[in-house]
Amino acid sequence: MKTAWKTGISFGLTSGVITTLGLMVGLHSGTHSRAIVIAGILTIAIADAMSDALGIHVSEESKNSGSTRQIWEATLATFAAKFLVSVTFVVPVIITQLDQAIVISVMWGLFLLTVLSFFVARAQGIAPWKVIGEHLFIALCVVAMTHLTGDWVNKMVGTK
């Protein structure tokens, strides 16, 4: 696979999982509203995917080392990966109870990060468990912090 596509897919997938899970968990604990969680996911899928794609685009341009085609490939791969990964989190929210959807989504996100981390570790010749553990630890920290933040906001403004 081309380096530009690896860059975009790995960044987009990682960002899609971490950002979407953080938003979902925070919105859920803050509002307990299915509509708000779905709106948040779709907002991430569109606005944040475009933002990340532009960020990769500018970052790649600033390196002055790739062709225009490679820069655009990384840009498009980032957008597509972030958008598609983020949208997958809507499915459990639509088809199950919201509390259950959050658990399913966390498991789905951790699975995606595990698979990506495994392939990254193999490509680098590193023990997969180290890379997987590091990435899952960061994801779980985001989930915990956004849950606590949502609870705090809910307590402060009394949305329950």
Question: Running DSSP on this structure, what letter comes out for residue 96?
Answer: S
What is d(CA 108, CA 88) in angstroms, rounded to the nearest whole number?
Answer: 9
What is d(CA 105, CA 99) in angstroms, rounded to the nearest whole number?
Answer: 10
What is d(CA 6, CA 9) in angstroms, rounded to the nearest whole number?
Answer: 5
- Contacts of residue 85, Cβ cutoff 8 Å, sequence gap at least 6: 12, 13, 16, 17, 20, 112
Hey, which bits of the chain come out as E strands?
A: none
| Higher-pLDDT residue of 10, 64 | 10
Q: Length of the chain, please?
A: 160
pLDDT for 160 beyond 70: no
Stretch 11-17: mean pLDDT, rounded? 95
pLDDT value of position 1: 63
**pTM of the full predicted structure?**
0.91
What is d(CA 48, CA 22) in angstroms, rounded to the nearest whole number?
Answer: 13
What is d(CA 39, CA 149) in angstroms, rounded to the nearest whole number?
Answer: 19
